[in-house]
Amino acid sequence: MGEVTTNIPDSKPSAPVTEAAMDDLDKDAKFKTRNVDVFYGDKQALFGVDLDIRANEVTALIGPSGCGKSTYLRCLNRMNDTIDICKVQGQIELDGMDIYSNALDVVHLRAKVGMVFQKPNPFPKSIYENVSYGPRIHGIAAGKEDLDQIVEESLTRAGLWKEVKDRLNEPGTSLSGGQQQRLCIARAIAVQPEVILMDEPCSALDPIATARIEELIDELREKFTIAIVTHSMQQAARVSQRTAFFHLGYVVEVGETDKIFTSPDDKRTQDYITGRFG
């Protein structure tokens, strides 16, 4: 009987960032993060993350559970501010502006950077009110007609208009899981953001709904910059142009999706892709 060797990777990578990751940085990127550390109390969750999100592209963030992908994503729209014990250090820039500076207000930031969550969370309001919530509070719409148009456009872009146009007054919670998630996407779109962050948007959905949303993501990237955290490598391969591999709070490798999935530079990436751990 031969020995069964399992390739267990190092508990702490020897070098935080590989050469390849450094090369990937682009000075014109939409989002530039440099040397970002994130702490939950005394526990450090992210170590010196250097990563760029490029405009009008879908960037996938992959990696095993608990390695910081969602934490990173939540830094980009400062959702980590809502957690008391969370501390963010380092530099995060959107279009060249430090998002933690006083020049960019957090409310304004979140209007520019929208978020779709893992579990669909429509408000217990009507479909119309769900989508019009954002534009209303920001004062984006010029009047009722303008608001109606925004709602219609957003629902159309999210691929939901045909299905709900006759029942806009029904509660958002009466829709199916997949529809609810598309409603949440429509809600995020209605605020006219530039970036949409998606935190495992399909993990609570069935395959058919997942397929529809993946189609949607592909269409959306024409207008928006998208960063998507996903557990499914196949999904990452399907929808994204660039992929970043996170492991234990470090960005191990970043690059074009094709390259990452066929011939990654780092062994750990290779091991993850081939399913040796996860």
DSSP designation for 116 = E
CA–CA separation, 148 and 167 (whole Å): 14
Smallest separation (angstroms) from another protein to the CB of 110: 4
Helix or strand run (H / E) with residue 98: strand 97-98
Q: Is 39 in the site for another protein (CB under 8 A)?
A: no
Q: How far is CA 113 from CA 37, 62, 108, 170, 262, in A?
A: 21, 20, 9, 28, 31
Asked if residue 172 binds another protein (CB under 8 A), the reply is no
Contact letters for another protein, residues 222-251 (x by CB under 8 A):
xx----------------------------
Report the C-alpha gap between 8 and 276 in whole angstroms: 8
Neighbours of 113 (CB within 10 A): 24
Q: In what order do the strands lie in the sheet with 250-256?
A: 113-116, 195-199, 225-229, 58-62, 242-247, 250-256
How many residues belong to the site for another protein (CB under 8 A)?
44
> Least distance to another protein from the beta carbon of 71, Å?
14
Q: Nearest to residue 265, comparing CAs of 36, 24, 33, 28? A: 24
Distance (Å, whole) CA 33 – CA 91: 6
Distance from C-alpha of 39 to C-alpha of 88, rounded to nearest angstrom: 7
| Residues 184-223 close enough to bind another protein by CB under 8 A | 184, 187-188, 191-194, 215-216, 219, 222-223
Give the interface segment with another protein, choosing from 3-11, 40-48, 155-163, 201-209 (CB under 8 A).
155-163
Closest CB to another protein among residues 38, 188: 188
- Report the residue from 2, 41, 139, 207 that binds another protein according to the rule CB under 8 A: 139
Q: How far is the CB of 21 from another protein (least distance, A)?
A: 28
Site residues for another protein, 83-122, by CB under 8 A, read 105, 107-112, 114-115, 117, 119, 121-122
Fill in the DSSP letter of residue 81.
G
What's the alpha-carbon Rg for the chain, to the nearest Å?
19
Pick between residue 118 and residue 232 the one whose CB is nearest to another protein.
118
Does 125 contact another protein by CB under 8 A?
yes
- The residue ranges that bind another protein (CB under 8 A) are 77, 79, 82, 105, 107-112, 114-115, 117, 119, 121-125, 133-134, 137-140, 152-153, 156-157, 159, 161-162, 184, 187-188, 191-194, 215-216, 219, 222-223
